[in-house]
């Protein structure tokens, strides 16, 4: 059994751990050219490979990627159409949830504005700011997978009412007082003080949160997007924010990344932008290895991994 390990975050000790725990032959490429050659010999792949190379992975039965988004992988031909794809869901929930909370609290307490005043050495606020609390707020979470559940868990400590929206409610959505299908979102938007977006990119989610939906939110509402930038059309968001029809937006993901310098979002005072770094965590590697080794045990026993199996047709 050959495992192709292709992830520059792993060091020699990590590779030795994989070799010891699996008993398999571990392949590692020293160049892009060699990676293209080794991929055809791999029975299992763990790590990052350029999607264009997957057409050569004719004998690969299982690909484990250490990140959550799979849109680039599912959109290209696979050398083995029966290959099982698993992702890194479960790695990023705690840290992205903290990122969401940081953005919400920054808007509530005006921390982003205070930082600007600090740079100008100004002690008093030049204009009023609507300070807020999370107490008794209604927060909608759009996409209630691992990240959404971690956000809800943290919001529970702030005495919030959490409403979850997902493609198909399953009845196991802890920390959410109400759970609805995505198709029911429109009727609940007027209730929300905050809307946290954690949906994956699929043909159905691209452009889903357009300006007509944004305008159904109360004018004091804040939108936080840590899912995929394709969810919210940029110009729609700019239009709604400039018109005062939305209080603010915290954006870790944008339709175009890097965000072009000419984008109006940069200069809007009610926007907080981070460069798609909410997923960074010191536990990234350890959690990814845990998922891979857990899936390896299942793969050896049954021929299939069981954790984080992606449905290619759905795109997640």
Instruction: State the catalytic residue, choosing from 149, 166, 228, 287.
Output: 228
Distance separating alpha carbons of residues 109 and 175, to the nearest angstrom:
24
- 30 is annotated as an active-site residue: no
Phi-psi region of 124 (alpha: psi -120 to 50; beta: other; left: phi over 0): beta
- 228 is annotated as an active-site residue: yes
- 257 is annotated as an active-site residue: yes
Instruction: State the catalytic residue, choosing from 184, 257, 304, 311.
Output: 257
**For residue 122, how many other CB atoms are within 10 A of its CB?**
11
Distance separating alpha carbons of residues 33 and 26, to the nearest angstrom:
18
Instruction: State the catalytic residue, choosing from 276, 290, 294, 312.
Output: 276
Helix axes 111-119, 93-109, angle to 10 degrees: 70
* Structure-token pair, residue 240: 């709604």
> Which residue, among 148, 137, 306, has the nearest Cα to 220 in the 3D structure?
137
Distance separating alpha carbons of residues 307 and 237, to the nearest angstrom:
36
Distance separating alpha carbons of residues 257 and 241, to the nearest angstrom:
20
What is the tally of helices (H) and strands (E) in the chain? 10, 12
Handedness of CA 16, 17, 20, 25 (dihedral sign): negative
Catalytic residues: 228, 257, 276
């Amino acid at each position: 059994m050959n495992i192709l390990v292709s992830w520059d975050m792993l060091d020699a000790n990590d590779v030795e751990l994989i070799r010891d725990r699996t008993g398999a032959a571990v392949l590692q490429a020293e160049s892009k050219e060699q990676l293209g050659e080794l991929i055809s010999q791999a029975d299992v792949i763990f790590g990052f490979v350029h999607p264009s190379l997957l057409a050569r992975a004719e004998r690969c039965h299982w690909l484990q990627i250490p990140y959550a988004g799979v849109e680039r992988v599912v959109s290209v031909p696979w050398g083995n159409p029966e290959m099982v794809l698993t992702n890194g869901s479960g790695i990023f929930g705690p840290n992205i949830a903290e990122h969401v909370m940081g953005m919400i609290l920054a808007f509530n307490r005006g921390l982003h504005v205070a930082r600007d005043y600090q740079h100008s050495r100004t002690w008093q606020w030049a204009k009023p700011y609507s300070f807020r609390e999370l107490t008794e707020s209604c927060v909608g979470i759009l996409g209630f997978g691992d990240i959404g559940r971690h956000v809800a868990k943290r919001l529970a400590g702030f005495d919030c009412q959490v409403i979850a929206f997902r493609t198909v409610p399953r009845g196991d959505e802890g920390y959410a007082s109400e759970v609805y299908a995505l198709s029911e979102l429109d009727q609940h938007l007027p209730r929300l003080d905050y809307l946290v977006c954690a949906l994956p990119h699929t043909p159905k989610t691209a452009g889903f949160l357009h300006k007509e939906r944004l305008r159904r939110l109360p004018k004091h509402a804040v939108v936080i997007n840590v899912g995929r930038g394709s969810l919210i059309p940029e110009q729609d968001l700019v239009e709604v924010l400039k018109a005062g029809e939305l209080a603010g937006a915290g954006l870790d993901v944008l339709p175009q990344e890097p965000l072009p310098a000419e984008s109006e979002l940069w200069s809007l005072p009610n926007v907080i932008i981070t460069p798609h770094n909410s997923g960074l965590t010191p536990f990234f590697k350890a959690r990814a290895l845990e998922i891979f080794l857990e899936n390896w045990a299942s793969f050896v026993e049954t021929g299939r991994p069981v954790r984080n199996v992606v449905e290619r047709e759905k795109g997640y």
